[in-house]
């Protein structure tokens, strides 16, 4: 007789608990290894005991501490690059030669003075401290040199005045350095020993109080004696290094020597040999090299000459007298020996990055057939699909206003909306006006002076034409603030022709707008990522995990850069620093960059859109004519005609691709040639599809207001323009008396002294009112 046996899938009914408490161990035993679906879908997390958790935390702390110590030991050591220190005097009373004389102590180590250029720099080798420093200097008046050298400096040494700390020029330089991003810095006071002993303590207290505004919780070191200079060197060697994100992921090099070899075809272009220490990341010869201020170039070869500044020089014993020894510097002894020169890498044409910056457009690429009915219906269904979110809003809030209210944990302009769609079309042509200097009015006391000496001197320095243009720009900015986006309907041109590029939007948030429609032909020349976030993440992950073949960090190399103009080495010989950065993939290509900036409080001049500005974006410096737009979480962003001072705006320019994070500084060139800092911020995204929409508001005078209709005058001056739009009917035939009877969809009556404009969302009298236009006037890089 066959006996029934239960299979493995037999139903198991839940047993009665009987009132006994069921603990975690009992549940695990009853489960027999089964896991809930939610647990299976997630990564299994191993629970550690308290002892294991403490042990793991201590291991992590130990690893971080060892990483910091290893970074300290490598910087300035025999295997790492020299510790590069940028000395910046923040006051005109600071004596830079005296400070360098104290640091160039022969008892401390060996000093190698710089032989190129006119700038003060020297190499200090200290075997006793097992450290080597490379000191350079820059004056705050030469602002772009200070910013460029701060991009590659390991430490910035600020020299302060004992009485005032810094002057106006030094304060302006500090503002720019803070906006760009400060590396490790140290504060030193020069000249406090020259004060009387009773005033030294008071001077240090006042200076410490003044420095707290810029540098809270930072100690002030003295630099008046050799002993204080030695303490300063120890502080520089033992400081924890601060990181700048835009340079940690790229290889960069500060040129210690440069040699130009002209080509056979022309003496104006040739091969530039740059020698220096590799920093940041390993340098690959196949990557593109960017020389700050000069452009992008390709490398042909990387050589590895002998380090000219070794921490421990070679000791050669004489065969005649074994008791005597002679220390020689490797560069002095074997500079001309070809066998000591190693060729590390040569460029591979198949793997080398190209210098192509623009796409060659195909005129037939944009051809397409008319979409079918199925495609149109599918697109219509996609527009209807939208996720419904329940939000808490104030009582009486409309559905349109509720869409703009963010959640408590939501942020406008964060990572989520970082890469919104953007559209660009031609903006209406606007005349760009020249910059002028803003004259500050000072309060004056009533006093008697001679004849108009001051007036004559004032008139000699004032450019009347520039003053008229600046006055007109101030008026335009004031009108824009009082009546945003309002324009007068022209009387000599029909409104339906003047505003034919505009369209009406029922809702600025929900109305569809294709970012690819009606793009200019030149827009096909730029590059666009299919997914910029994923590309950026992939490249950064390869930098962290993949080993790059090439010159390692700390090696002294010579780069053979091809097709370089002779002007680069001429600037270098005049004392301008030569700084080179290795580019990441795609960073030599042109695209549309969006940057979030805020107006600098020290500058109040009106800045109009499309004016030429000077940009410091990460490691790059270039000129461009930007567009301004609002920084919102929507997919369409309103165009701003002026750079406002109260809110952050998004600046859109044509520029080479740069992967964020990167700091952004905007400068404006004045009539006297000086550059003024107007805005600071950071790089938001590289997105050509971010739509910038230009709005125009047409306004008129309400003549009669009824319950559901209103008669408005002076909005249009042509009867055909009124018939063209969605207006109930025109009234009058004469040009000056043409009115429009506008239908109001609600039952409420507007206030009589309220101006009729498209700011009233419920009013949609004509399709030209409440209009938004995409720009076709794209900015160009100078």
Determine contact, residues 606/476, Cβ cutoff 8 Å.
yes
Q: Closest Cα to residue 413, out of 652, 246, 624, 637?
A: 637
Of 146, 276, 309, 344, the C-alpha closest to 582 is 276
Q: Note the pLDDT of residue 451.
A: 39
pLDDT at 674: 83
Residues of the chain with pLDDT under 70: 1-3, 6, 17-24, 27, 30-47, 72-73, 115-119, 313-340, 363-369, 384-393, 395-463, 480-483, 732-782
Token pair of 542 as six digits: 């390869």
Provide the sign of the torsion angle of the four alpha carbons 297, 661, 532, 623, taken in this order: negative
- Joined together, the tokens standing for residue 619 give 């490691």
- Please report the pLDDT score of residue 130 as a whole number: 84
Q: What is the rounded radius of gyration, in angstroms, for the C-alpha atoms of the chain?
A: 34
Listed in order, strand segments (DSSP E) in 472-543 are 486-487, 503-504
Q: What's the CA gap between 113 and 101, in Å, rounded?
A: 11
DSSP state of 264: S
* 474 CB-side CA count, 13 A: 12
Q: Is 232 helix (H, G, I), strand (E, B) or coil?
A: helix
- Who contacts 535 (Cβ-Cβ below 8 Å, separation ≥6)? 529, 586
Q: How far from 594 is each of 37, 176, 617, 773, CA to CA, in Å?
A: 43, 20, 11, 19
Cis peptide before 407 (omega within 30 of 0): no
> Quick one: tokens of 237?
């060697």
pLDDT computed for residue 594 by the predictor: 94
Angle between helices 143-150 and 168-180 (to 10 degrees): 40
Place of tokens 């006071």: 189
Q: Which token pair is 680? A: 């600071």
Residue 763: predicted pLDDT? 34
Q: Count CB neighbours of 680 within 10 A.
A: 19
The predicted model scores a pTM of 0.71
Task: Give the tens place of pLDDT for each residue, 527-541.
Answer: 988 899 999 999 999
The three-point CA angle 502-506-510 to 5° equals 105
The token duo for 618 is 């990460």
Tokens 């603990």 map to which residue?
A: 23
Question: Is-contact 75 153, C-beta < 8 A?
Answer: no
> Given its phi and psi angles, is residue 328 left (phi above 0), alpha (psi -120 to 50 degrees) or beta?
beta
- Strand, coil or helix: what is 596? strand
Torsion sign, CA atoms 498, 503, 509, 514 = negative
Calpha distance 290→273 (Å, rounded): 14
Question: Cα 437 to the chain's mean position, in Å?
Answer: 26
Cα–Cα distance, 194 to 315 (Å, whole number): 44
CA proximity to 687, closest of 663, 659, 647: 659
CB 687 within 8 A of CB 419: yes
Query: For residue 146, what pLDDT is reported?
Result: 92
- What's the rounded Cα separation, in Å, for the pair 645 and 624? 21
Q: Strands 556-565 and 295-304: what pairing? A: antiparallel
Determine how many CB atoms are found less than 10 A away from the CB of residue 510.
Answer: 14
Beta strand extents in 571-722 (DSSP E only):
579-582, 590-599, 613-617, 620-624, 627-630, 637-640, 649-656, 663-669, 675-686, 692-698, 701-705, 709-713
Q: Which residues of 563-581 are buried (b: 16+ CB within 10 A; e: fewer)?
A: ebbeebbebbeeebbbbbb
Find all residues with CB under 8 Å of 586, minimum gap 6, and list them.
Answer: 527, 529, 535, 657
Residue 594 bridge partners (DSSP): 652, 685
The CA–CA distances, whole Å, from 496 to 298, 491, 511, 730 equal: 53, 12, 22, 15
Give residue 396's pLDDT. Answer: 64
Contact 662, 591 (CB under 8 A): no
Please give the Cα distance from 236 to 366 (Å, whole number): 59
Helical spans, DSSP H, in 462-499: 464-482, 495-498
Please say whether the beta carbons of 89 and 165 come within 8 A: no
Q: How far is CA 220 from CA 145, 159, 208, 212, 769, in A?
A: 25, 10, 8, 11, 62
DSSP string, 554-579: T-EEEEEEEEEETHHHHHHHTT---E
Assess contact for 290 and 583: CB atoms under 8 A.
yes
Give residues with Cβ within 8 angstroms of 503, minimum separation 6.
767, 771, 772, 773
CA–CA distance, 327 with 323 (Å, rounded to integer): 13
- Cβ count within 10 A of residue 752: 8
CB neighbours (10 Å) of residue 452? Answer: 10
Which of 614, 479, 110 is closest to 312 using CA atoms? 110
As a whole number of angstroms, the distance between CA 639 and CA 627 comes to 8
Residues in the chain: 782
Neighbours of 51 (CB within 10 A): 8
Can you say whether residue 181 is alpha, beta or left, with left for phi > 0 and alpha for psi between -120 and 50 degrees?
A: left
Characterize 222-243 residue by residue with b for buried, 16 or more Cβ atoms within 10 angstroms of its Cβ, and e for exposed: bbbeeebbbebbeebbebeeee
b/e sequence 17-36, b meaning 16+ C-beta within 10 Å? eeeeeeeeeeeeeeeeeeee
Beta strands per DSSP E along 196-268: 220-222, 252-262
Using CA atoms, how far residue 196 sits from 200, 424, 712, 770, in Å, is 6, 66, 79, 71
């Amino acid at each position: 007789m066959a006996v029934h046996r239960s299979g493995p899938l037999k139903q198991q009914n839940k047993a009665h608990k009987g009132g006994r408490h069921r603990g975690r161990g009992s549940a695990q035993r009853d489960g027999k290894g089964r896991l809930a679906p939610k647990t299976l879908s997630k990564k299994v997390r191993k629970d550690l005991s308290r002892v294991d958790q403490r042990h793991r935390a201590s291991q992590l702390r130990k690893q971080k501490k060892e990483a910091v110590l290893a970074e300290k030991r490598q910087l300035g050591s025999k295997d790492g690059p020299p510790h590069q220190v940028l000395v910046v005097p923040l006051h005109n009373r600071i004596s830079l030669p005296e400070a360098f004389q104290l640091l160039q102590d022969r008892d401390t180590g060996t000093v190698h003075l710089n032989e190129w250029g006119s700038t003060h720099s020297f190499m200090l080798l200290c075997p006793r401290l097992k450290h080597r420093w490379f000191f350079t200097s820059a004056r705050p008046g030469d602002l772009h040199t200070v910013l460029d050298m701060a991009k590659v400096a390991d430490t910035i040494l600020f020299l302060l005045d004992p009485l005032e700390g810094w002057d106006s020029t030094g304060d302006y330089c500090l503002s720019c350095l803070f906006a760009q991003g400060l590396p490790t810095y140290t504060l030193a006071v020069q000249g406090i020993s020259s004060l009387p002993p009773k005033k030294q303590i008071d001077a240090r207290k006042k200076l410490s109080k003044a420095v707290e505004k810029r540098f809270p919780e930072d100690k002030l070191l003295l630099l008046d004696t050799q002993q204080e200079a030695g303490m300063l060197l120890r502080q520089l060697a033992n400081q924890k290094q601060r990181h700048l994100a835009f340079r940690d992921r790229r290889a960069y090099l500060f040129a210690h020597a440069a040699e130009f070899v002209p080509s056979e075809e022309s003496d104006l272009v040739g091969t530039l040999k740059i020698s220096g220490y590799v920093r940041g990341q390993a340098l690959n010869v196949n990557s593109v090299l960017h020389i700050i201020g000069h452009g992008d170039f390709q490398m042909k070869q990387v050589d590895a000459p002998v380090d000219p500044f070794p921490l421990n020089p070679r000791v050669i014993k004489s065969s005649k007298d074994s008791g005597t020894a002679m220390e020689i510097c490797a560069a002095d002894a074997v500079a001309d020996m070809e066998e000591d020169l190693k060729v590390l890498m040569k460029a591979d044409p198949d793997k080398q990055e190209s210098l192509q910056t623009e796409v060659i457009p195909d005129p037939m690429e944009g051809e397409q057939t008319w979409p079918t009915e199925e495609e149109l219906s599918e697109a219509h269904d996609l527009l209807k699909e939208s996720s419904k979110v329940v939000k808490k809003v104030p009582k009486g809030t409309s559905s349109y206003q509720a869409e703009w209210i963010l959640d408590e944990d939501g942020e406008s302009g964060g990572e989520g909306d970082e890469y919104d769609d953007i559209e660009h079309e031609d903006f209406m042509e606007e005349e760009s006006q020249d910059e002028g200097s803003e004259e500050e009015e000072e309060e004056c006391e009533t006093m008697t002076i001679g004849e108009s000496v001051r007036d004559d001197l004032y008139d000699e320095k004032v450019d009347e034409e520039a003053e008229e243009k600046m006055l007109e720009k101030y008026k335009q900015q004031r009108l824009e603030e009082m009546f945003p986006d309002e324009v007068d309907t022209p009387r000599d041109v029909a409104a339906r022709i003047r505003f034919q590029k505009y369209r009406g939007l029922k809702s600025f948030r929900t109305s569809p707008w294709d970012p690819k429609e009606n793009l200019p032909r030149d827009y096909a020349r730029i590059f666009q990522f299919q997914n910029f976030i994923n590309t950026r993440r992939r490249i950064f992950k390869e930098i962290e995990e993949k080993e790059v073949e090439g010159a390692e960090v700390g090696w002294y190399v010579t780069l053979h850069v091809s097709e370089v103009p002779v002007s680069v080495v001429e600037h270098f010989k005049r004392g301008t620093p030569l700084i080179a950065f290795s580019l990441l993939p795609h960073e030599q290509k042109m695209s549309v960059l969006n940057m979030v900036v805020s107006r600098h409080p020290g500058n109040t001049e009106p800045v109009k859109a499309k004016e030429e500005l000077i940009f410091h974006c990460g490691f790059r410096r270039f000129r461009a004519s930007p567009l301004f737009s609002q920084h919102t979480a929507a997919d369409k962003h309103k165009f701003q005609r002026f750079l406002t001072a109260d809110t952050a705006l998004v600046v859109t320019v044509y520029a080479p691709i740069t992967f964020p994070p990167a700091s952004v500084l905007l400068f404006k060139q004045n009539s006297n040639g000086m550059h003024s800092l107007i805005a600071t911020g950071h790089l938001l995204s590289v997105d050509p599809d971010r739509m910038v929409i230009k709005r125009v508001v047409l306004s008129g005078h309400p003549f009669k207001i009824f319950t559901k209709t209103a008669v408005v005058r002076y909005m249009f001056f042509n009867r055909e323009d009124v018939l063209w739009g969605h207006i109930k009917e025109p009234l009058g035939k004469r040009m000056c008396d043409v009115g429009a009877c506008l239908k109001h969809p609600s039952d409420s009556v507007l206030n009589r002294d309220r101006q009729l404009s498209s700011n009233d969302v419920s009013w949609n009298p004509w399709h030209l009112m409440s209009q938004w236009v995409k720009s076709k006037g794209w900015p160009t890089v100078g």
